[in-house]
Amino acid sequence: MSKDHARTVLITGAAGGLGRAFAAGFADKGDRIAVADINLDGARETAAQLAASGAEVAAFQVDVTSRESTDALAADVAEFGGGTIDVVVNNAAIYATVTRSPLEDIDPDEWDLVMGVNLKGPWLVTRAVSPHLAENARIINLSSATVMSGSAQWAHYVASKGGVIALTRVMAKELGARGITVNAVAPGFTLTEASLNLMEDAATYGVDRGSIKRASQPEDIVGATLFLASPEAGYITGQTLVVDGGRQFL
């Protein structure tokens, strides 16, 4: 893809993990990448890695729980993209640091924090970028396969990611008249740095429950996201694509 026809792709939570993998995947397609994270140093590191491979990329700091911050991000990314934004990947989330507790013991402040980042964040980012979205833009929201099965002592995280699926459906209804598609990707347990630090047996966790007997790699989630952002997925909207190696079926 030539630079004149490159899409502008905004990825939140891009300082590492899946966000960094998404950024690399879209850059490989020739897209112009806006990497955003509350961790500006991490976003800049991602941007430097992509730039070293020849990508057109810029790093931005954003607090996805803040209206002012997301409004500023949207304006800055639209300027970077020449006026419009073509793809948004709402990936920013709190995950590895979420405390596992019985529902009656969850700290209400932590509940609010998880909901603020994981659910309010995609709404605020999408709200902010909406005026700048190109015709036939693509929005991909990151949910989680744990919504389909539940996960004990993780009520706030699971509820926040379930809310992402509901929000995705509403967004699809509201933005569809503009030719914009909105879908969710729900990964299973994936071997990112955060996941590997959660447990000693991360590399084999849940593999026996899957139809495909191997651990999920970031590239598995990237491929699904690239598809939903592609022209070939232009008639798919409001859907949730579970990417978990066949551990569960909808």
User: What tens digit of pLDDT does each residue of 58-96 get?
Assistant: 999 999 999 999 999 999 999 999 999 999 999 999 988
The topology under which CATH files domain 3-243 is Rossmann fold (3.40.50)
For residues 25 and 61, what is the distance between their CA atoms, to the nearest angstrom? 21
User: Which pLDDT value is given to residue 2?
Assistant: 44
User: Which pLDDT value is given to residue 201?
Assistant: 66
> Does the active-site annotation cover 157?
yes
State yes or no: pLDDT of 219 exceeds 90: no
pTM, rounded to two decimals: 0.93
Q: Rounded to 5 degrees, what are φ and ψ at 208?
A: -65, -20
- Which is the catalytic residue, given 95, 157, 205, 235? 157
Q: Domain spans of the chain?
A: 3-243
Q: Which of 182, 8, 22, 180 is nearest to 91 (CA)?
A: 22
State yes or no: pLDDT of 4 exceeds 70: no
For residues 13 and 38, what is the distance between their CA atoms, to the nearest angstrom? 8
User: What tens digit of pLDDT does each residue of 174-193 get?
Assistant: 999 999 999 999 998 766 66
